[in-house]
Chains A and B, each alone.
Chain A
Amino acid sequence: DIQLTQSPSFLSASVGDRVTITCRASQGISSYLAWYQQKPGKAPKLLIYAASTLQSGVPSRFSGSGSGTEFTLTISSLQPEDFATYYCQQLNSYPFFGQGTRLEIK
C-alpha cells in the first residue's frame, strides 16, 4: 500500500500568513494527488486535484504543487475562513488519505 505522510500535523498561524503543508508518498504517484479542506462538523471539500489544478470556485490563494513523492499545498495569505484541517489523498492505487494537518489561529 502507498502511505501518505503529512507535515506538520498541527500548524498555528495568523491571518495574512503564507503557509505550506507537505504530503509525502511512500512511493511515486505521479500527479495523482488531491487536497481537501474540512471544517468541524462538515464534510471535506475538494480544493485541488491532479496535484496542482484548482477546483472550480476555490479561491486562488490556494495552490498545489509537486509530483512523484513530494507535494505541497500553499495558502498565500491566510483568511479567517481557512482555519480548518487539510487532507491529502493519493489516487494512484487505493484512494487513501493522509493523516491530516490541523491549521489553527495563532
Chain B
Amino acid sequence: QLQLQESGSGLVKPSQTLSLTCAVSGGSISSGGYSWSWIRQPPGKGLEWIGYIYHSGSTYYNPSLKSRVTISVDRSKNQFSLKLSSVTAADTAVYYCARVRYYGDYGTDAFDIWGQGTMVTVSS
C-alpha cells in the first residue's frame, strides 16, 4: 500500500527558505496516471493548495504563492520536494504531501493518498 512521509526542517527563520521532502513508499513515484502535490494548513485554519508536479515533470502552482514556490521530483530516490522562499510567520502551518489521482472515466482528479503532515514554524 502506497504511503507518503514528509520530512524537513520544523523551524525556519523569517526570510529563509523552507525545504520539505515527501518520500513515497510501497509504489513508484513514476507510475503513470498520478501527479504529486503539496497542501498546507495554518493552525486552526483551512486547507491551502500549494502546487502540483505532474507525471511529465511540469509544475502548476497556486498563483498567490507562485513567485516563492518550487516543487521538484527525484525519481531515483522516489521522492518529491517543496521549497518555499522568503518565508514569514504567515507560512507557519502543517504541510502535507499528497498523491493526485486522475479518474479518466470522470475527467477529474482528487487527492487520494496523503502523508501525515509535518509542522513548520517560522520564527526567529
Contact = CB atoms under 8 A, between A and B. Distances in A.
Are both chains from one complex?
yes
Interface in B49-75: 49, 52, 62-63
B74 to A, nearest CB: 22
A19 interface: no
Q: Which of A43, A49, A91, A100 has the largest count of B CB atoms less than 10 A from its CB?
A: A43
Interface string A67-106: 0000000000000000000010101001111111000000
A44 B116 CA distance: 9
Interface residues on B, range: 20 to 34
Contacts, number: 64
B112 A46 contact: yes
Interface of A: 1, 31-32, 34, 36, 38, 42-46, 49-50, 53, 55, 87, 89, 91, 94-100
Given A44-B111, A53-B106, A91-B109, A97 B46 contact: yes
A38 to B, nearest CB: 8
* A interface, over-half SS: loop
16 contacts: A34-B111, A38-B47, A43-B114, A44-B47, A46-B110, A49-B108, A50-B103, A50-B108, A53-B106, A55-B110, A55-B112, A87-B46, A89-B111, A95-B111, A96-B49, A97-B46
